[in-house]
Structure 1
């Protein structure tokens, strides 16, 4: 009788352990599915960002080129302005106050 009661208790405990294990397995499976969904969402986000970068990179390169051209033009104009100031100062130093630049042909 004791053996039968012990066997039944062991069987009951085994069923409870199996139920707990099944529940843990279901929870783990649900977690795995959530992680798979999160991974898919992250993959989609990464692809979106890659697409954005592919669209923006050529425009950024073009903007950099235009910025360099503008900087070169600014430097050239600065040099020209400095030369004009030097010429003006030289002319004033040598008594030249006015130069008629108009061609009256």
Structure 2
């Protein structure tokens, strides 16, 4: 991945935070809200965008008669995130070698 090829999924701070949180495993909406410190509306919109991009899947269930929404990072999302992090690492290494 080159800097001009950054996927739309990684073009906002909140989307990067969501994906970063999901790397360690599935999270509920409430957990993502706590981790990212975002509002319900903003989180909902950005998670929906990540679903559209194929980076995240959503499952809905009921637990003790309460709705529970869980999000999981897809293989595509993990692959793109790894490529994104690798690209950033290469940029940093190039910057450090200029010192």
Do both proteins adopt the same fold according to a TM-score greater than 0.5, normalized to the shorter chain? no
Q: Which TM-score tier does this pair reach, normalised by the shorter chain?
A: under 0.3
Which structure: greater helix fraction? 1
TM-score, structure 1 normalization:
0.25
Which structure exhibits the higher relative contact order, with contacts defined as CA atoms closer than 8 Å and separated by 6 or more residues?
A: 2
Which structure: greater strand fraction? 2
